[in-house]
Structure 1
Amino acid sequence: MDYTKSYKEVLKHYYFVNPIVHWIRHNENITYKVSDSGSAKTYLLRIHKPITTNMQGVQNIYEAIQSELEFLLAWSTHSQIPVQIPVPNVHGKLVTTVWIENEEVHCSILEWIDGETMSKNDLESEERVSALGKEISLLHRFSQSYQQGSSFARPEYGLEWTETMLSKLRSGEEIGIISTKHFQIVENTFSLINDRMKVMSKKNETWGFIHADINYSNLILSARGISFIDFGLSGFGYYAMDVAMSALLTRKELRDILLASYTNLIPGRIDIEELEGFMFLAIAAYYAFLVSNKDQHAWIRDKMPGLIEHFCNPFLNGKTVFYTI
């Protein structure tokens, strides 16, 4: 089904005047940049339909989209850094449901955040890395205090999630893009991480609402600081997962600065083994996502030996990889 022109049906439900629409991408959502001639403001339109069934999940149901938007709306009243504020439709609802070719599709619109998408070069300084650690801690501190309603629904990033991810990687072995030898090592790495997760507590200090998809493309740098965008995969998980994803974006020489900045606002011991485990899971999740994309199979074949050599084998042999990868 072709959803690429479906924005016209969605925009009928909003107070836009002669909107100018530009296609962005189709990934976990179909996204457009919308410029409103009437207000001179810019917005992000999301049609919550993933490009493959492999990406379908709890995050695509109405209640989960509503929950994400409620969180963003609440956080926007506390954050000093720009937040993607949800825009209600003409009926005052945050989620708009339309019928496209006899299929029910959920949509939402967010205010656009002006700034530059961050890159590796933007996290070369101690000051910038420290700022990233601070923003993660502020997000998590708000999450700890956020009072969610009884209908609040988002994905969970626990043992069931790791098993689903491993199943997707197993399908990569079955079609021959991951060798059996490499998959067995990956499977052993998952087993070790799962064993550690089984004894991790889900206390308010360690488990809550997280972004769950921190990467360069989801960080916007403006004059006011670093903003997180694209909460489409956000859900319940260990706060260490967000910290680990941020560490992957940071040069190993600066990772202690990231941790120090984070713990300045959220005191407590950072377990390096836990971070290493979540770093691996973040990488593995990307591989699992690409398994369903034939155009990326060559990339997986090319990169998998490096993942085994530089992460899995040292990790399984009890070596610290946090300061080496």
Structure 2
Amino acid sequence: MPDDANCIKEILLQYPFIDPVVEFIRHNENITYKVTEKGSEDAYLLRIHKPITKNMQGVQNRREAIQSELEYLLAWSSCSELPVQIPVPNLNGDVVSSVVLEGEEVYCSVLKWICGETMSRSDFASEEMASTLGERVAQLHQFSRSFKPSSGFIRPEYEIAWINNMLTKLRSGENMGVILSGEFQIIEKAFPPIIDRMKSWSKSIETWGFIHADIHYSNFIRTSRGISFIDFGLSGFGYYAMDVAMSALFIKSELRDDLLSGYTKVIAGNIDVAQLEDLMFLNICEYYAFLVSRREKHLWIREHMPSLIELCRSLLQGTPVFYRMNQVGLAN
């Protein structure tokens, strides 16, 4: 987290703020601040696109990719009945700014703040809310099907190269000793069958497109008009089922039929549960891969590794897990 007040001031001077009050939120895939105009209710989200660890660095941190994310948000805001994080241009009319941080140029963006309450896991503990979650994800995908990106549009892609990169990060965990060699061998064996199955998955307008790619209860805001998405920092192109799989990870297994029912209420069709299981596993592994580079999370990894190994063995044996996998205890 940058603690240099001059750095923050330099960024804010690029925008039409008059008397801003700045409050640090968190540092994860971006460094984020809430900016409020003193004496008013106008609030904004300032994002400095510098991830907390180098292994989170990717396409999404490039200027063109940030512009592409904001292009999507602006397009969606014109269609959505619910609040969307609309990009705010700087004094030059650009939606992406830059600042020199720790000797390197880093990009920044500002979004309008969505007023409401950040949701928790317990908010999605009923059949009604699980169904509503499915509907909201489907509504996003419904828009993505019609979205026409510009010629320079670029965002991360979540397919085989992403999986291989994830495995490389997990292998570094073995090298550090946070993942035992025997554990890594089991994890590694689970990947090739999934990659083989992914090669056979249909990639069409109905199955593949722009996805949120970071569906989590804390990335939903309860507003006066309904539940809105926030945090598209990892958004990109992938199978729509990936967002559904991520949604399933934070609700109880007995509510997952309600999630799927809500989704198919908006987008009709059959959902491949086996595909969801593969994508759930990949997203769990991606989370572990992210934590590997954070030493303060190594104890968490060790405590939760047995459940990951059990999941690997189930997938290798072809045992269905969608309706028996408990909520994943992902660290906050």
> TM-score w.r.t. structure 2 length?
0.95
3-state DSSP class of the match of 1:45? strand
Native 8 Å contact 1:87 1:110 kept in 2: yes
Q: Deviations over 1:149-168 (max 9, x none)?
A: 11000000000000000010
Shift of 1:172: 0.6
Moved more, 4-13 or 107-116: 4-13
May I ask how many residue pairs the two structures share in their alignment? Answer: 324
Is structure 2 residue 36 aligned with structure 1 residue 24?
no
Instruction: Provide the rounded CA distance (Å) in 2 between the counterparts of 1:208 and 1:72.
Output: 15
The residue number in structure 1 matching 2:324 is 324
The residue number in structure 2 matching 1:201 is 202
The residue number in structure 2 matching 1:238 is 239
Instruction: Provide the rounded CA distance (Å) in 2 between the counterparts of 1:4 and 1:237.
Output: 37
Unpaired runs of 5+ residues, structure 1, are: none
The residue number in structure 1 matching 2:216 is 215
Instruction: Provide the rounded CA distance (Å) in 2 between the counterparts of 1:78 and 1:3.
Output: 38
Letter in 1 for 2:81: Q
The residue number in structure 1 matching 2:151 is 150
Instruction: Provide the rounded CA distance (Å) in 2 between the counterparts of 1:11 and 1:136.
Output: 33
Unpaired runs of 5+ residues, structure 2, are: 326-332
Shift of 1:102: 4.5
Moved more, 279-288 or 222-231: 222-231
Instruction: Provide the rounded CA distance (Å) in 1 between the counterparts of 2:227 and 2:283.
Output: 21
Shift of 1:240: 0.2
Native 8 Å contact 1:23 1:31 kept in 2: yes
Q: Deviations over 1:23-72 (max 9, x none)?
A: 11111111100001365311100011112211110000000000000100
Give the alignment of 1:57-72 within 5 angstroms. 57-72=58-73
Moved more, 8-17 or 151-160: 8-17
The residue number in structure 1 matching 2:185 is 184
Instruction: Provide the rounded CA distance (Å) in 2 between the counterparts of 1:177 and 1:101.
Output: 29
The residue number in structure 2 matching 1:258 is 259
Instruction: Provide the rounded CA distance (Å) in 2 between the counterparts of 1:71 and 1:4.
Output: 32
Native 8 Å contact 1:16 1:38 kept in 2: no
3-state DSSP class of the match of 2:200? coil
Instruction: Provide the rounded CA distance (Å) in 2 between the counterparts of 1:119 and 1:217.
Output: 6
**4+ residue stretches of structure 1 with deviation over 6 A?**
none
Shift of 1:101: 5.5
Counting aligned pairs with the same residue, the percent is: 61
Letter in 2 for 1:121: S
Instruction: Provide the rounded CA distance (Å) in 2 between the counterparts of 1:319 and 1:201.
Output: 23
Letter in 2 for 1:318: G
Q: Deviations over 1:126-164 (max 9, x none)?
A: 111111111101100100100101100000000000000
Q: Deviations over 1:257-309 (max 9, x none)?
A: 11011112211110001000010111111100000001111111111111112
Letter in 2 for 1:190: F
Letter in 1 for 2:49: H
Q: Deviations over 1:61-84 (max 9, x none)?
A: 000000000100110111111111
Q: Deviations over 1:3-25 (max 9, x none)?
A: 65322111101111110001111
The Cα RMSD (Å) is 1.3
> TM-score w.r.t. structure 1 length?
0.97
The residue number in structure 1 matching 2:111 is 110
Native 8 Å contact 1:209 1:236 kept in 2: yes
Letter in 2 for 1:197: M
Native 8 Å contact 1:154 1:234 kept in 2: yes
Q: Deviations over 1:77-113 (max 9, x none)?
A: 1111111111111111111123345422210001111
Native 8 Å contact 1:17 1:38 kept in 2: no
Letter in 2 for 1:324: R
